[in-house]
Amino acid sequence: MKRPREPEQYVNENTDQLVRVIKHSSNSFPRALALAALVEYGDDAAVESVAEELEQFVKRREGR
């Protein structure tokens, strides 16, 4: 039986996929799960990248 991966290892190996889910999923539940995993177990650079993109999205939506 395969040993389960640690959450940190999973997030480090799948950061790109998690970011893709956050950016492109049409369902808020998977987006929330991906964001929570990235914030809790990801590195600061990945979290900062997503935060910057969210800020840009909000600014575009507000018409700035």
Give the model confidence (pLDDT) of 1-46 as tens digits.
Answer: 677 789 999 999 999 999 999 989 999 999 999 999 999 999 888 8
The answer to whether 23 touches 53, Cβ cutoff 8 Å, is: yes
Reported pTM = 0.77
Tell me whether residue 14 is in a domain. yes
In this structure, what is the dihedral angle of CA atoms 51, 28, 33, 17, given to the nearest 10 degrees?
-70
Asked if residue 2 is part of any domain, the answer here is no
Residue type present at position 50: V
- How many domains does one find in the chain? 1
Which residues span the domain enclosing 20? 7-62
Q: Is residue 58 part of a domain?
A: yes
Sign of CA dihedral 8, 12, 18, 19: positive
